Amino acid sequence: MLHSPLKETESDYLISSRRQRCKDILAREDLNEEGLIEFYIALHVVLEVGLNALLRHLALWHAQSFFDKAEIIDQVDDVNFKDKVAIFLYHAQFDFVDQHQDVEKHHDILKKIVHFSEIRNELLHGHAISTFILDGKSQDSDVRRKMNQATLTQQINLFKDIIRGMHFFLDHLIDSPKEKIDKEGLKNKYLDIEFLGK
């Protein structure tokens, strides 16, 4: 069966709007708890939607021509983004000539994704953001203890590390003989960190 070329019109709204939301929140002089909650969720959306879109493009690029493209999209979209990253890292073909130290440095992307996603999962699953008074002593919930500058900095650094790692692996991805992939275009579209400042 012959397939017509895929013409895709993709909405980048979630990525672009959440990047802007992150920028706006970071620009605030008085960053309060509500702002931190919004930032953590927005930054996670940027990462998850961006990686899902990137890996969907790579799956379409790599798949044999006889597979139905729409079916590939549906199947790939059913896999969570951490698992897609693992499949990419362990099944794609890379050229790492004299780059073994960098491979080791970036290999912990999967652990970083789990750590990065922790706070988003807690927030969206309704974990308590509160202070309890127990036996006359004040005690913050686990999530409230993450509402601070140190955790904000940690989340930004994890995001940047994950994105830089994906840059590294994408840069070393071996091109298919059938067609080259626009690595720079994909990085600019889905793996940007400029919106977070320096």
pLDDT score recorded for residue 64: 66
Contact 175, 94 (CB under 8 A): no
pLDDT tens-digit series, residues 17-32: 999 999 999 999 889 9
pLDDT over threshold 70, residue 198: no
Q: Highest mean pLDDT range out of 106-110, 155-159, 175-179?
A: 155-159
Q: Residue 3's pLDDT is what?
A: 42
- Whether residue 57 lies inside any domain: the answer is yes
Q: Is residue 7 part of a domain?
A: no
pLDDT at 16: 94
**Total-model pTM:** 0.88
Residue 161 lies in a domain: yes
In 40-136, beta strands by DSSP E: 131-134
- Is the separation of the CB atoms in 10 and 189 below 8 Å? no
In a domain, 8, yes or no: no
Angle at 144 between CA 138 and CA 147, to 5 degrees: 130
Q: Does the pLDDT at position 113 exceed 60?
A: yes
Q: Bigger pLDDT: 136 or 35?
A: 35
Number of structural domains found in the chain: 1
pLDDT > 90: percent of the chain: 55
CA distance 114 to 120: 10
- Average per-residue pLDDT for the chain: 87
As a dihedral over the C-alpha atoms of residue 157, residue 163, residue 169, residue 173, rounded to 10 degrees, the angle is -170
In a domain, 5, yes or no: no
Task: Give residue 5's pLDDT.
Answer: 52
Q: Which residue range(s) make up the domain with 117?
A: 13-196
Region of poorest pLDDT, from 36-45, 60-69, 173-182? 60-69
Average pLDDT score over residue span 77-99: 87
User: Is the residue at 6 inside a domain?
Assistant: no
Among 45-59, 78-92, 93-107, 135-149, where is mean pLDDT lowest? 93-107
Residue 135 domain flag: yes
Question: Is residue 160, in this structure, part of any structural domain at all?
Answer: yes
